[in-house]
Amino acid sequence: MAGAGSGKTRVLTHRIAHLMAERGVRPGEILAITFTNKAAAEMKERIQALLGARAANTMWTMTFHAACVRILRREGHRLGYPSSFTIYDSADSQRLMQLVCKELDLDPKRYPPRSFSAQVSNLKNELIDYDTFAGQAQNDQEKKLAEAYRLYQTRLHQAGAADFDDLIMVTVNLLQMFPDVAEYYRRRFRHVLVDEYQDTNHAQYTLVRELVGTTEDPDSSTVTPSELCVVGDADQSIYAFRGATIRNILEFERDFPSARTILLEQNYRSTQTILSAANSVIERNEGRTPKNLWSQQGEGTPLVGYVADNEHEEAAYVAGEIDRLTDEGVVTPSQVAIFYRTNAQSRVFEDVFIRTGLPYKIVGGVRFYERKEIRDVLAYLRVLANPEDTVSLRRILNVPKRGIGARAEEAVELFAARERTTFAQALRRVDEAPGIAKRSANAVRDFVALLDELAAIVPDSTPAEVVEAVLHRTGYLSELTGSKDIQDETRVENLEEFVDVAREFENTFAALVEEEPPEDDGEETVTDPGEPTLVDFLERIALVADTDQIPEEDDEGGVVTLMTLHAAKGLEFPVVFLTGLEDGVFPHNRTLGDKQQLEEERRLAYVGLTRAQRLLYVSRAAVRSAWGTPSYNPASRFIDEIPSQYVEWKREGAALAPPPSRGIGGGFGSSGFGGGPRGGGRSRGSASPAPSLSVGDLVNHDSFGMGRVELVEGGGDKTKARIDFGADIGEKDLMVKYAPIQKL
């Protein structure tokens, strides 16, 4: 049980060093599991510093998901997975769920595919398969969900694909169904170490148990259980929303009765003031094991508080302070971090930083790999690696445009269903498909030929070469370069960058091979790297979000780091700005009504506060625009929970009240009826009210100018108004809640 800043990673790495030096454990016998790639990379780096590159590369130091992929590539064939199976990310699985729901003829209004996808994910985290779930389904919703779950899983399996949750769940199934596999890994990994144990969900917990083996487990009669060492901090559990259970760490001693618990309470990171502030916040959570973190770093300076009028001024203040601190030589930019609750909040900071010329780096945010053009090329690569990958195949079927439209796709799908074969197989037999246009069939045949042509070059090419071949031979690149759209220029640049990513991957892969001399222990330990294959490349992309890639190093003072609080976990900075401390922003609006969720937000605040080493700023904005409309948020309750003696306010809120509300019930209820708006129904706390409109009212729109209300329909947030903006613009149907209009 290790508090914030008490040296968790150090404990793990030094235990590993101890095992090797004092107990003669070989690196190949060690499995060190982390939750994020960032943590895995850091641990690997430290192990390398302590024990050298060979040890670092031989032992498995990786995330849950990466470890499971390795096991599945090797053993998944027993459950019908090809060794080159595709990994579906959440966007892919949502698309597949969409296809499944359509196939089942489910009304997307009543049974939203996105929600189904999320629920299936939750079920998998609980290791509940579709049969079990179907057995306990109570109502209509659950029964439909069970059906969708089953078909989804069938389609996924047919496509030779696994989604993120499958990686864990299927590995658990594998270990439970095949005792010889379980035994193999138990013999292999005599020491299992788990970082951030408080973030494990049920599936991950079970996985650990299966890997370690237990004494009462009959399977393990031949192998004594491995040694298990976990570190965690219940106060830093911030992933309950995706199934993590604090239970796992709280009841570790019950799960493993011979366990010994060691408490680490000394913090080596922060000043006592920062710690005291963080402690007094986290103390508000009920039912937690009290912990007394202390520091020898001295009192330090008080937290600095600031209340800005709006989010732009908050950002300007932060930028100004960073400017001042760097000018005075107190810090370099790389020693400063700015945290916020949601990615959307990064924008204002970016604006100000660009204007003031401060170097910065946003971690996370708009993902490179989520861009359309990147996903398109990725889909080609995936189909080349795994021709049955239906979701990817259907994505590129008509990209770039080649005359295979919805009609043709549907015909192929029907044909596949009738023939009880897969979409990929059916494509190759287009000519037999009934009801397909000649022209479309020809296009499909050309497409299949194109895929074959590309597939032929894969064995003799590096990933980067394949990427380039795809870009050129499919005509994807020429379609973009021929376009007049400015956006397409950026797309071309992104694709160039993607080729670079592939090249860089090849280089780092080569470097790894050099460092690692061939191993002759008899056990084929680390998969022999050899030449990097397309499958290797795809795996890397699927498992490594670019969030992890760059916490900055300083060359010329470095850059300021901007990130969400979740991304900040595990990091530390001399100077931290914790921004957007407003009820409704942080804690987030959607958590305000739920005690459990609110406590998780508080832990998130605790994580944020404890990242700071010396200087900690807490700030908020009195007004912040969300969805284009301003909202007036009160100070975050977490600020109130910090005793005032720890905070020095540079500027306090002038209790800025919302302006008099515009027009709710303000005397024009009389214009007949017709479902006129009723004010209320605000989803966003104290957001400014949408104008209450009636037919005949005059309004002013920020871009369309003056107009007259012709029709009002719907109610609450969904109220729409038809407004006539005159001859130039004409009539518009606008959502009253979101439209930038004022009543005149």
Name the residues that contact DNA, by CB under 7 A: 35-38, 63-66, 89-90, 108, 114, 164-165, 238-239, 241-242, 342-344, 364, 372, 398, 401-408, 437, 440, 543, 545, 547-548, 564, 566-567, 588, 590-591, 597, 626-628, 702-703, 720, 732-733, 735, 738, 740
Does residue 577 contact residue 358 with C-beta atoms inside 8 Å?
no
Nearest to 629 by CA among 310, 160, 349: 310
Name beta bridge partners: 615: 575
| Smallest distance, DNA to C-beta of residue 165, A | 7
Collapsing DSSP to helix, strand or coil, 578 comes out as strand
Between 295 and 547, CB nearer to DNA:
547
**Positions marked catalytic:** 8-9, 195-196, 236, 611
Q: Do the annotations mark residue 244 as ligand-binding?
A: no
| Smallest distance, DNA to C-beta of residue 633, A | 13
Q: Do the annotations mark residue 3 as ligand-binding?
A: yes
| Smallest distance, DNA to C-beta of residue 437, A | 6
Cα distances (Å, whole numbers) of residue 510 to 42, 326, 541, 640: 21, 40, 17, 54
Between 121 and 267, CB nearer to DNA:
121
| Smallest distance, DNA to C-beta of residue 636, A | 14
Nearest to 699 by CA among 689, 713, 709, 690: 709
Between 186 and 720, CB nearer to DNA:
720
Residues in the chain: 744
And the tokens for 496? 């160039």
| Smallest distance, DNA to C-beta of residue 594, A | 9
Between 89 and 536, CB nearer to DNA:
89
Between 465 and 717, CB nearer to DNA:
717
Q: Can you list the alpha helix ranges (DSSP code H) found in 104-228? A: 113-125, 130-136, 140-158, 164-177, 179-188, 202-212
Q: Do the annotations mark residue 608 as ligand-binding?
A: no
For residues 326-357, one letter each, b for 16 or more C-beta atoms within 10 angstroms of the residue's C-beta and e for the rest, the string is: beeeebbbbbbbbbbbebebbebbeebbeeee
Cα(268)–Cα(296) distance, integer angstroms: 7
Between 456 and 550, CB nearer to DNA:
550
Does residue 343 contact residue 365 with C-beta atoms inside 8 Å?
yes
| Smallest distance, DNA to C-beta of residue 180, A | 27
Q: Do the annotations mark residue 6 as ligand-binding?
A: yes
Q: Do the annotations mark residue 7 as ligand-binding?
A: yes
| Smallest distance, DNA to C-beta of residue 439, A | 7
Does residue 720 contact residue 714 with C-beta atoms inside 8 Å?
yes
Does residue 572 contact residue 271 with C-beta atoms inside 8 Å?
no
Collapsing DSSP to helix, strand or coil, 591 comes out as helix
Q: Which amino acid is at 467?
A: V
Q: What is the 3-state secondary structure (H, E, C) of 495-556?
A: HHHHHHHHHHHHHHHHHHHHHCCCCCCCCCCCCCCCCCCHHHHHHHHHHCCHHHCCCCCCCC
Q: Do the annotations mark residue 9 as ligand-binding?
A: yes
Residue 441: CB atoms within 10 Å: 18
Nearest to 230 by CA among 31, 494, 94: 31
Between 65 and 190, CB nearer to DNA:
65
Residue 457, burial from CB neighbour count under 10 angstroms (0-12, 13-18, 19+): middle
Q: Do the annotations mark residue 28 as ligand-binding?
A: no
What residue numbers does the annotated binding site cover? 2-9
What residue numbers does the annotated binding site for ATP cover? 2-9
